[in-house]
């Protein structure tokens, strides 16, 4: 990516995202009781209920959650607004939501449900003021509005030190405040914002770094290998930094505690680890090749866009594609040859806030 600040990230399309991210679906399924509790705490009303799913990708991972919310509130008229970025594969979303992939559509037999879609970033106000009852977002708000700097020697800011770390932390503070400010504007009085976002837990654990082989260190090691072999340039290596930040619980709490979002009250905040489903399956089937084949696509689904963009625009699309294939091929080989300890367990900070 020539412009280091660009952060309009892209998940792999064609429905690949939710097929490859069984773990992300499990995270949402396990957040469902929290969402239902948030709904139950709202004042009963007969006006149409509005839910947003911000950073929805192809909508496959939240399909069951949305259906459960619809049925929980039935027969109340229900609108779901899916939001993501312009580069998102919205056609895949339409296929999934409207039943074009074989997954059962919640629209069947529920004629009181409306589906709307927006490609506006959650760093802006997306919906009209005071219209949203439930703003929901899963595994999305670790993506930043912009990448402040590149991180030396790592693809993720979680390993940044000194001035590089401070630049990321400052950007993340502004980003989180902006997210909360815009959700405050969108929510109705008594509405809830449920955020399930990657973070760092009380034991210092984060995505793919919960013991065993560190996923982020493996990402970097393979790019360094390709740089040492002259396949990519030092500038491309540096630009592999993902525009992401994992906040601690204290960082998530800060705007609530210091009064900078006075109209939002924090109701709940806690961390939870959801085990990597592919690593868990490996402990049953013991087939290293199968583990590698099934697991690496989950890494690819959310990193490929950034990594491809970091490759020079002077390279042809075919050359870039070949480097990307080589990269994930090497990751797969590492897992196949030494599977023990690999895995991408999810570490999230769950948060519920109420609009005063
Ligand atoms: C890892 S996916 C999560 C998808 C789904 N919510 C889930 O939990 O499985 C992250 C999504 O956030 C989206 N995203 C990242 N930055 C965004 C922004 N500023 N505004 C809206 N969506 C964004 C990405 O495009 C991507 O689809």
**Per-residue pLDDT tens digits for 283-302:** 999 999 999 999 999 999 99
* Structure confidence at residue 20 as a pLDDT band (50, 70, 90): low
User: What mean pLDDT do residues 189-205 have?
Assistant: 98
Ligand 1 center–CA 354 separation, angstroms: 22
Determine the pLDDT at residue 199: 98
- Could you give the residue ranges of the DSSP H alpha helices within the chain? 16-20, 22-40, 63-73, 90-97, 162-186, 215-228, 234-238, 249-257, 277-285, 288-310, 317-337
Determine the pLDDT at residue 131: 98
Determine the pLDDT at residue 17: 54
* Structure confidence at residue 21 as a pLDDT band (50, 70, 90): confident
Ligand 1 center–CA 55 separation, angstroms: 3
Determine the pLDDT at residue 14: 56
Q: Probe ligand 1: pick from 23, 85, 179, 208, max atoms within 8 Å of CB?
A: 85
Ligand 1 center–CA 175 separation, angstroms: 15
Determine the pLDDT at residue 10: 66
Determine the pLDDT at residue 79: 98
Determine the pLDDT at residue 260: 97
Cβ of 175 closer than 6 Å to ligand 1, yes or no, is: no
3-class secondary structure per residue, 131-168? CEEEEEEECCCCECCCCCCCCCCCCCHHHCCHHHHHHH
Enter the pTM of the model.
0.94
Cβ of 80 closer than 6 Å to ligand 1, yes or no, is: no
Cβ of 197 closer than 6 Å to ligand 1, yes or no, is: no
Give the percent of the chain with pLDDT over 90: 93
Both tokens of 10, joined, read 């892209």
| Ligand 1 atom nearest residue 88's Cα | 25
Asked whether the predicted pLDDT for residue 96 surpasses 60, the reply is yes
Cβ of 196 closer than 6 Å to ligand 1, yes or no, is: no
Asked whether the predicted pLDDT for residue 3 surpasses 70, the reply is no
User: What mean pLDDT do residues 275-280 have?
Assistant: 94
| CB distance 305 to 11 below 8 Å | yes
Cβ of 350 closer than 6 Å to ligand 1, yes or no, is: no
Cβ of 139 closer than 6 Å to ligand 1, yes or no, is: yes
| CB distance 261 to 325 below 8 Å | no
Cβ of 277 closer than 6 Å to ligand 1, yes or no, is: no
Asked whether the predicted pLDDT for residue 119 surpasses 50, the reply is yes
What's the mean per-residue pLDDT of the chain?
95
Q: Whose CA is nearest to atom 14 of ligand 1?
A: 55
Ligand 1 center–CA 140 separation, angstroms: 4
Determine the pLDDT at residue 5: 43
User: What mean pLDDT do residues 165-173 have?
Assistant: 98
Q: Rg of the Cα trace of the chain?
A: 20
Cβ of 132 closer than 6 Å to ligand 1, yes or no, is: no
Q: Is 227 helix (H, G, I), strand (E, B) or coil?
A: helix
| CB distance 53 to 83 below 8 Å | yes
| CB distance 157 to 244 below 8 Å | yes
Determine the pLDDT at residue 142: 98
| Ligand 1 atom nearest residue 8's Cα | 16
Determine the pLDDT at residue 53: 98
Determine the pLDDT at residue 11: 64
User: What mean pLDDT do residues 167-178 have?
Assistant: 98
Q: Other C-beta atoms within 10 Å of 295: how many? A: 26
Determine the pLDDT at residue 7: 58
Determine the pLDDT at residue 102: 87
Cβ of 61 closer than 6 Å to ligand 1, yes or no, is: yes
User: What mean pLDDT do residues 141-158 have?
Assistant: 98
| CB distance 332 to 293 below 8 Å | yes
Q: Whose CA is nearest to atom 27 of ligand 1?
A: 57
Lowest-confidence region among 3-17, 27-41, 227-241: 3-17
């Amino acid at each position: 990516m020539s412009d280091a600040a660009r952060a309009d990230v892209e998940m792999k399309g064609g429905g690949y995202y939710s097929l490859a991210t069984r773990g992300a679906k499990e995270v949402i399924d396990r957040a469902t009781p929290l969402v239902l509790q948030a709904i139950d705490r709202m004042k009963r009303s007969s006006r149409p209920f509005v839910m947003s799913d911000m950073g929805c990708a192809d909508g496959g991972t939240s399909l069951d959650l949305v259906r459960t919310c619809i049925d929980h509130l039935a027969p109340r008229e229900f609108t779901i607004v899916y939001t993501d970025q312009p580069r998102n594969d919205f056609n895949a979303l339409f296929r999934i939501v409207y039943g074009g992939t074989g997954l059962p559509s919640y629209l069947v037999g529920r004629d009181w449900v409306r589906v709307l879609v927006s490609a506006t970033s959650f760093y802006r106000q997306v919906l009209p003021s005071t219209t949203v009852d439930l703003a929901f977002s899963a595994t999305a708000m670790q993506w930043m509005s912009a990448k402040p700097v590149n991180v030396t020697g790592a693809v993720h800011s979680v390993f940044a030190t000194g001035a590089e770390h401070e630049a990321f932390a400052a950007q993340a503070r502004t980003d989180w405040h902006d997210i909360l400010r815009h959700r405050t504007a969108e929510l109705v009085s008594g509405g809830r914002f449920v955020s399930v976002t990657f973070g760092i837990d009380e034991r210092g654990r984060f995505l793919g770094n919960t013991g065993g082989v560190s996923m982020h260190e493996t990402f970097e090691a393979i790019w360094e290998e390709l740089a040492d072999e002259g396949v990519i340039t030092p500038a491309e290596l540096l630009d592999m930094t993902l525009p992401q930040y994992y906040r601690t619980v204290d960082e998530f709490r800060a705007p609530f505690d210091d009064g900078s979002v006075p109209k939002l009250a924090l109701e709940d905040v806690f961390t939870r680890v959801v085990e990597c489903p592919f690593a868990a399956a490996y402990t049953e089937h013991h087939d290293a090749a199968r583990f590698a084949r099934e697991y690496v696509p989950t890494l690819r689904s959310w990193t490929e866009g950034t990594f491809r963009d970091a490759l020079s625009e002077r390279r042809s699309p075919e050359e870039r594609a070949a480097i990307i294939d080589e990269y994930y091929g090497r990751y797969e080989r590492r897992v196949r040859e030494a599977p023990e300890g690999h895995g991408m367990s999810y570490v999230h900070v769950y948060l519920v806030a109420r609009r005063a």
